[in-house]
Chains A and B, each alone.
Chain A
Amino acid sequence: MATFRVCPDSGFYFNRSAERLIKVNAVAGVVALLIAGILALGVVLTRWQEVHLLSPQDFYLALTAHGINALIFWIIFFEMAILHFASSTLLRCRIATPGWAWAGFMLMLLGAIINNVAVFQGRSSVMMTSYAPMQAEPHFYLGLILFAVGALVQVLVFFGTLVVAYQEKTYEGSVPLVTFGAITAAIIAVFTIASGAIILIPTFLWSLGYIGHIDAEMYRIVWWGLGHSSQQINVSAHVAVWYLIAGVLFGARPMSEKVSRFAFFLYILFLQLACAHHILVDPGVGTEWKIFNTSYAMYLAVLASMIHGLTVPGSIEVAQRQKGYSKGFFEWLRKAPWSNPVFSGMFISLVVFGFLGGITGVVMGTEQINLIIHNTIYVPAHFHATVAVGTTLAFMALTYLLIPVLFRRKVILPTLARWQPYLFGGGMTILILFMLGAGTLGVSRRHWDMDFTGAAMVFEYPGMAYTLMAIAAIGGLLAIVGGVAFLLVTVGSLLFGEKLEPSAGFLQSFLGKALAPSAYAVERPEMLPRAPKLTVEEHGSAGFEAPGTFALAMLLLVSFVVYYFINWKYLASVWPLS
């Protein structure tokens, strides 16, 4: 029985069951993004002190729901779509146990709904971290647990699909690099979900009254195994998306498969240890633990990100130069398809992730200079660079690619789509830069009122902090406009876009119904052949094939050195020890 269809535009083979699962996970993710975006408006307009929109109760409710929907539900739903795509589609095989994958998806959906209900009922405004002894309603934790179990089931189906592909010999040689990136994300997901189970199940029982006490420090350590590692799933997944987009748009091959795979291996080994940077000022754990997990292990994960940051644009540069765009250092970049949101979204994601997310991440992971900005608004600035731009914008770019390929609809509003990555990426960049500045001046994160109105103990921020927060809010509003544009284009395309396949209707787009049986005409796809070896890889001279990328890498290095020095200098001035 034929269960595969081949996309005439991209050549991807889609298995019917996998295709349906990719769609429902992606759509559920976008719904969570919509909720997160609406709530972002309330958060931004409250932290803009002159506007100060929401009451304290509403602000903390909005911030909790915004954080969980943006950092957990949107991202992990979409990552499940990526896992099924990277296994079944890229390896040209059927999905293992689709029934279990559906069960996992339904559990995730149920968990997300229950958790949102708990938050919107108003008695669980405990932020995403829900630090004990602050207690939420039991169904807040139950929702998260169900969501995590569902995600684990889908991750296990992903590993099962890898076995299916291997046993049925659907590919030759090693799995493609994008699939390898997805494997990295899935491995980190297993640790993440296990950490979540270890801490959230007892916390759930505590909220029901079956357990008398949750140790606050123990909670923090184990919870960050969930909270920070969940963002490391993102990093692996969006780096895999970068490679995918570079390959699809430019026919780019990694400059060195070995080096790129080794960089993912460094993620597997070390990336999750960076959770420790959240505990750097906690007195309960020793310096050895802190320094090993951040200043040693984390730097090896940073090295891996730098490798990916070099090899992705490097591979694009090599491909572009082979097409004749070889004048000077940057003709390859100038002649790139900047009006295509798939490319512009991916490239902005890469640059902001590296220059803002990467550099600030190292600053936060250094025990001494972390003291200047710990728990200030600098921290949300950092993770908006890594997650909101690095991951979200990469996923948005991938969505533009998938609308015609997966959903078989043409993208509507092409002009708006062209501008959307610039609106979202530009707005986010303003938000990030000015929150970084405000955080350096000490402005607290998760704080309703910078004026400390009516508080027994007050702190007077410098006037500049208010200005920085106001400009950050304007950037945030611009990013929200970019988010609205994304939803208009994508949801609009699924509803009203020209059908590239006659049976691509509403149910096929939003509820995971399969296309008409006639669309699936392939019984067994051709075996995925081994990629031919690259000449440059054999000669080991790939670095010199991409001088423009090398120049960009040097710019990143200089920016990092200067910024790192400034932070140490600033530390010396606020802690005058000499």
Chain B
Amino acid sequence: MSDDKATPGRESEERIPAMQSILDNPFLLLFIGVTMPTVFYLIWGIMEIVTLPVAP
């Protein structure tokens, strides 16, 4: 009986939290780390410039 109780306990100890799974995946981090500045800095910034009205 004690074994029955101990087994799920060990399983829960070994369960990897979601945040750790994200931080353990360098390619997911690479995707996030490139996408964020590309969208918020580069694309947004370039769109602001290309939508500027041309001087007459």
Contact status B49-A187, CB under 8 Å? no
The verdict on B52 contacting chain A, using a C-beta distance below 8 Å, is yes
- Majority DSSP secondary structure for residues of A touching B: helix
Contact of B23 among A159, A180, A195 (CB under 8 A): A180
* Interfacial chain B residues near A268, Cβ < 8 Å: 29, 32-33, 36
* Interfacial chain B residues near A35, Cβ < 8 Å: none
* Interfacial chain A residues near B3, Cβ < 8 Å: none
Task: Give A292 to B33 CA distance when docked, in angstroms.
Answer: 17
Contact status A269-B36, CB under 8 Å? yes
The verdict on B7 contacting chain A, using a C-beta distance below 8 Å, is no
The verdict on A412 contacting chain B, using a C-beta distance below 8 Å, is no
Task: Give A190 to B40 CA distance when docked, in angstroms.
Answer: 16
For B30, give the chain A residue with the smallest CB separation.
A187
* Interfacial chain B residues near A186, Cβ < 8 Å: 30
CB distance from B47 to the nearest CB of A (A): 9
Task: Give A217 to B27 CA distance when docked, in angstroms.
Answer: 32
Contact status B45-A279, CB under 8 Å? yes
- CB proximity to A under 8 Å, residues B14-56: 19-20, 23-24, 26-27, 29-30, 32-34, 36-38, 40-42, 44-46, 48-49, 52
Contact status B45-A190, CB under 8 Å? no
Count residues of B near A (Cβ-Cβ below 8 Å): 23
- Majority DSSP secondary structure for residues of B touching A: helix
Looking at A190, A275, A285, which has the most chain B CB atoms within 10 Å of its CB?
Answer: A285
* Interfacial chain A residues near B34, Cβ < 8 Å: 187, 190-191, 194
Task: Give A198 to B30 CA distance when docked, in angstroms.
Answer: 18
Task: Give A151 to B45 CA distance when docked, in angstroms.
Answer: 26
Given that A190-B34, A191-B34, A221-B49 are contacting pairs, would A289 and B29 also be in contact in the complex, using a CB cutoff of 8 Å? Answer: no
Contact status A273-B36, CB under 8 Å? yes
Contact status B36-A221, CB under 8 Å? no
Task: Give A575 to B32 CA distance when docked, in angstroms.
Answer: 41
CB distance from B27 to the nearest CB of A (A): 7
Contact status A195-B42, CB under 8 Å? yes
Task: Give A191 to B34 CA distance when docked, in angstroms.
Answer: 5
* Interfacial chain A residues near B32, Cβ < 8 Å: 268-269
* Interfacial chain B residues near A270, Cβ < 8 Å: 36
The verdict on A329 contacting chain B, using a C-beta distance below 8 Å, is no
Given that A221-B46, A286-B48, A289-B44 are contacting pairs, would A183 and B26 also be in contact in the complex, using a CB cutoff of 8 Å? Answer: yes
Task: Give A194 to B36 CA distance when docked, in angstroms.
Answer: 14
Residues of B within 8 A of A (CB): 19-20, 23-24, 26-27, 29-30, 32-34, 36-38, 40-42, 44-46, 48-49, 52
Residues of A within 8 A of B (CB): 159, 162, 174-175, 180, 183-184, 186-188, 190-191, 194-195, 198, 215, 217-218, 221-222, 225, 229, 261-262, 265, 268-270, 272-273, 275-276, 279, 284-286, 289, 292-293, 297
